[in-house]
Amino acid sequence: MTHYIAQRIVQVIPVIAGISVVTFLMLHLVPGDPVLLFAGDKPLSEERAAEIRHQLGLDRPLLEQYWDYARKAVVGDLGVGLRSQRPVRDSILEVLPSTVQLTLAALTFAAVVGISLGVFAAVSHGSWADTATMALAMLGVSMPVFYSSLLLILLFSFTLAWLPATGQGGIERLIMPTLALGMTSSAVLARLVRSSMLEVLRQEYVVTARAKGLAERLVLVRHALKNALIPAVTVLGLQLGALLGGAVITETIFSRPGVGRLAVDAIGSRDFPLVQGTVLFVATGYVLVNLLVDISYAYIDPRIRYR
Amino acid sequence: MQQEAPSNRPRRMARREFLILAGAGVGSIGLAACQAAAPPEAPKGTPAAEPKGPAPAPVPTTAPAPQAPAPTAAPAAKAAPATAGGTLVYALSGDLDDTMDPQVTNFDSAIRVTLNICEPLLWEPEPGKFVPGLAESWEVSPDAKVFTFKLKRGVKFHDGTPFNAEAVKFTFDRVVDPATKAGQSHDQIGPYDRTEVVDENTVRVYMKTGHVSLLTNLNGYLGIISPTAFKKMGPAEFARAPVGTGPFIFKEWVPKTHIRLVKNPDYNWGSSFFKHTGPANLDELVYKIIPEPSVRTGTLKTGEVQYVEEVDPLEYEALKKDNKFVVIDKPQPGSGWILLLNQTSQGPIKDLQVRTAMAYAVDREGLNKSVFQGLNKVAWTPLMRPTFGYDASLEKLFSFDPAKAKQILDGAGWKVGGDAIREKDGQKLVVDHPIISRPRDKAMAESIQASLRDVGIDYKVTPLERAAAREQFRQNRYDVSFMWFSYGDPDVLRTIFHSSNVEAFNRARYQVPEVDKLLEEAVGAIDPARRVELYRQVQERVLKEVITIPLIDSVSHHAKRADVEGDHLDALASYVWLYDAQLKK
């Protein structure tokens, strides 16, 4: 077990290093001179360009620049925002609680609703309830976040006036973003849990369990669901990426602070340290969460750790 | 600013017929009287008078509000119309660029907030009309190189320190200090040389070359900040909680969500332009950031906000019909959406006949309808209508006339080929237009494409990522470029047509010494009549040579709830002044 965890952790290191190289190179890979990107659309004299290049440290050899960047990033120093003059880390930490709150809420919503619907559909396999549930899930998968967000606002804020449309703070401002963001993931999960449940229900040990007279509820929960959930856990981890991506849109529409919007707005204001820092942070977070998923896997499914 | 900028980032400033001697209007005399009656400065340390009215809901993640509390409790003796106070919520369409330092930001959205905190020397309520701000009077030298400002007395920053000539010098000097990493303010201050402190209440600002646009540029990115507060707080902290002399004091900033300001109880130096004196009518001013247009407009309807900018075009008609709301349309000054035709191109557009035919073939009305729901105005010159020097006699020089366009092309030897595209000597009539891949740019380009196709011109539109598009322009691989520039002064034409800007916004790569001379003379002249004449000549010339094809004059659309009164949209149709604003009932 320890060996398995250690192995997974070691595997993560090159991934994070790779991410840091990519985020670092981002600035150099976009077409055009990074100095022009910083200076924006203003005409720029040669001296001024050289001055900015020096200010940003872009006149040093690339390797040296990367080394400097990576060395600082390891200890959590992501540089200073060009406009705000504050450490990028502070800007991220400031909006992080809002992102964590929304992501966790959406993930919980997705898990609860997705798994329940999936199990329900599997149990009522072939009936109209199964068809209806899966149609609903299909709708959820196909509906883009920006569309469902606007529909929710239209209904709950503008028509019924039950919930405030914008801002952050209080449960009433969390409900709609959570629904909008969690809807797609819950639909993905529902479909997955249904099919994996159906598969498990055909297994011999389920037949055995039923044969020895176990209550149907126990058969479903202890024998079937526990095994059917294994792929769901992986997908839930992967869905985190989708949630973070969708969060940018949800945050923009509902005027919520968040890491995703921080990055997108930083692109708009050409604040490169801020863009790099946020991307590095989010990507690393994503890798770490999936590491946790992998480890939790070993607990859920002993077969994995013995492989 | 120009076409590549997102809409929340336009440049600013206007100017117009400026007066050699202005200011010192009726109001400033009244104001002096008012000041005399004002109570002496109270001891520091009294906590800022907390406004009554609806208590703000506490927000967990408040930004620091480190500045010293306002010096004195609400002044008793001051007149000021008694009104309800209350909170006005204004919906911003775009976020700030992470700073509220007026000299550092690049975004108009930041200035919309900071103008309440860091006041300008002059305000410009309508294009070319200046009224006293922190300066009570001003003088411009005939060569537009020396600007002398007499400053108001008895003005205090929110940290209790006095406003004086040193503060003006400090603010202007830091714009050109590389350590500031100045944003728009650097362009606005122009060929700044230095500021001389003549005495406690007089400054002289020197330019290296004539720069009449300084007056119009004062109102925004050049708002005056408290040197003491800045030195004490440092740039990072100051950018989170700016300190000025304005009618509102910074209270909190919840990033990406809202900014809250409270009224300055000591404020009694408002411009003579405003309708009342003393502190602002509102107790609180909240700027909410709501980027999504339909949500923004919807919150106005629900009452979550009272004022919105950039009304959703799809909601425009409904709001206009509903008497619970007031829609404010105001045309912007500067240079509108125009096409610039690359004069160094070796393609068919080097032929004046082709360019002329294009000017006749473009359906501006159709473009306005299809892209802007008809909410803007068609453009006829590279200056938008409210801009000083706009020459109305040039209107409809090339009105929509596809038949005439075809006739000109036929006459020039461009014959319709098999695929309905014209050709001459084996060369196809192809015009190349790289654009930044954005919905509005695409829609505009496609409208033009359809118009030109009708007369047999193959208008190739290539949507590119922003940096790639800029690279294309830099390498001179294009025939046509879009441009748009909100600016208060016709000097915007120098940015677009002066030969020294070929590597910047002169995307027509137009290099004509006589035109350069006209533009240089105009920015260094202060006689309005002379300037009008110079700009008339420039407009006429670039239109007749078809260096540019004007398309659309932009109009800003704000909306408010009908119970909001006393707001004023400035000369640029960009900043809403809310000092006089109040909520009825």
Which range among A242-246, B94-98, B321-325 shows the weakest confidence by mean pLDDT? A242-246
Please check the confidence at residue B25 and state whether its pLDDT lies above 70: no
Sole residue written with tokens 């405030």: A164
Nearest CA in chain A to B301: A158
Sole residue written with tokens 């944003």: B183
pLDDT tens track for A106-150? 999 999 999 999 999 999 988 999 999 999 999 988 998 899 999
pLDDT at B146: 97
Do residue B183 and residue A274 have CB atoms under 8 angstroms apart? no
Please check the confidence at residue B49 and state whether its pLDDT lies above 70: no
Contact call for residues A201 and A224 (beta carbons, < 8 A): yes
Contact call for residues A75 and A83 (beta carbons, < 8 A): no
Q: Mean pLDDT for each consecutive 10-residue tract of chain A (307 residues)?
A: 83 90 81 66 68 79 88 88 88 91 92 93 91 92 91 92 87 92 92 92 88 86 85 84 83 90 84 88 88 81 67
Distance (Å, rounded) from C-alpha A47 to C-alpha A32? 18
Please check the confidence at residue B48 and state whether its pLDDT lies above 90: no
**Residues across chain A:** 307
Query: In Å, how far is A256's CA from the nearest CA of chain B?
Result: 6
Do residue A255 and residue B107 have CB atoms under 8 angstroms apart? no
Nearest CA in chain B to A168: B257
pLDDT at B24: 30
pLDDT at B103: 95
Contact call for residues A177 and A104 (beta carbons, < 8 A): no
Please check the confidence at residue B14 and state whether its pLDDT lies above 80: no
User: A211: which 2 tokens?
Assistant: 């044969």
pLDDT tens track for B173-183? 999 998 888 88
What contacts B410, CB < 8 A, 6 or more positions away? none
pLDDT at B19: 30
Query: In Å, how far is B236's CA from the nearest CA of chain A?
Result: 5
Do residue A257 and residue B1 have CB atoms under 8 angstroms apart? no
Which residue in B61, B240, B294 is closest to A150 by CB distance? B294
**How many angstroms separate the Cα of B457 from the Cα of each of B290, B301, B405, B453, B454?**
42, 46, 10, 5, 7
CB-based contact, A172 to chain B, within 8 Å? no
pLDDT at B84: 65
Please check the confidence at residue B300 and state whether its pLDDT lies above 80: yes
Do residue B255 and residue A94 have CB atoms under 8 angstroms apart? yes
Residues 48-77 of A with CB under 8 A from B: 51, 55
User: B34: which 2 tokens?
Assistant: 């008012």
Mean of pLDDT over chain B: 86
pLDDT at B522: 94
Which of A248, A252, A255, A270 to substitute to test the interface with B, most B CBs within 10 Å?
A255
Which of B61, B107, B256, B501 to substitute to test the interface with A, most A CBs within 10 Å?
B256
pLDDT tens track for B303-316? 999 999 999 998 99
**Residues across chain B:** 585
Nearest CA in chain B to A250: B292
Sole residue written with tokens 């306005």: B368
Distance (Å, rounded) from C-alpha A272 to C-alpha B509? 31
Please check the confidence at residue B415 and state whether its pLDDT lies above 60: yes
User: B202: which 2 tokens?
Assistant: 């007089």
Helix spans in B94-138 (H): 108-114
CA A128 to chain centre: 34
pLDDT tens track for B229-263? 999 999 999 999 999 999 999 999 998 899 999 99
The closest alpha carbon to B187, from B224, B216, B146, B148, belongs to B216
User: B156: which 2 tokens?
Assistant: 């205090």
Q: At what angle do helices A226-253 and A175-201 cross, to 10 degrees?
A: 160
Please check the confidence at residue B404 and state whether its pLDDT lies above 70: yes
pLDDT at A39: 64
Which range among B21-35, B185-199, B219-233, B345-359 shows the weakest confidence by mean pLDDT? B21-35
Distance (Å, rounded) from C-alpha B395 to C-alpha B126? 23
Do residue B98 and residue A81 have CB atoms under 8 angstroms apart? yes
Do residue B178 and residue A271 have CB atoms under 8 angstroms apart? no
pLDDT at A290: 85
What contacts A80, CB < 8 A, 6 or more positions away? A86, A87, A88, A273
Residues 82-101 of B with CB under 8 A from A: 95, 97-99
pLDDT at B561: 96
CB-based contact, A31 to chain B, within 8 Å? yes
Q: What is the pTM of this model?
A: 0.82
pLDDT at B289: 94
Query: In Å, how far is B553's CA from the nearest CA of chain A?
Result: 21
Please check the confidence at residue B80 and state whether its pLDDT lies above 70: no
Which residue in A32, A153, A257 is closest to B295 by CB distance? A153
Beta bridge pairs of residue B129: B126
Contact call for residues B524 and B49 (beta carbons, < 8 A): no
Please check the confidence at residue B514 and state whether its pLDDT lies above 80: yes
Residues 153-182 of B with CB under 8 A from A: 178, 181
The closest alpha carbon to B4, from B335, B437, B374, belongs to B437
pLDDT at A301: 75
User: B340: which 2 tokens?
Assistant: 């610039």
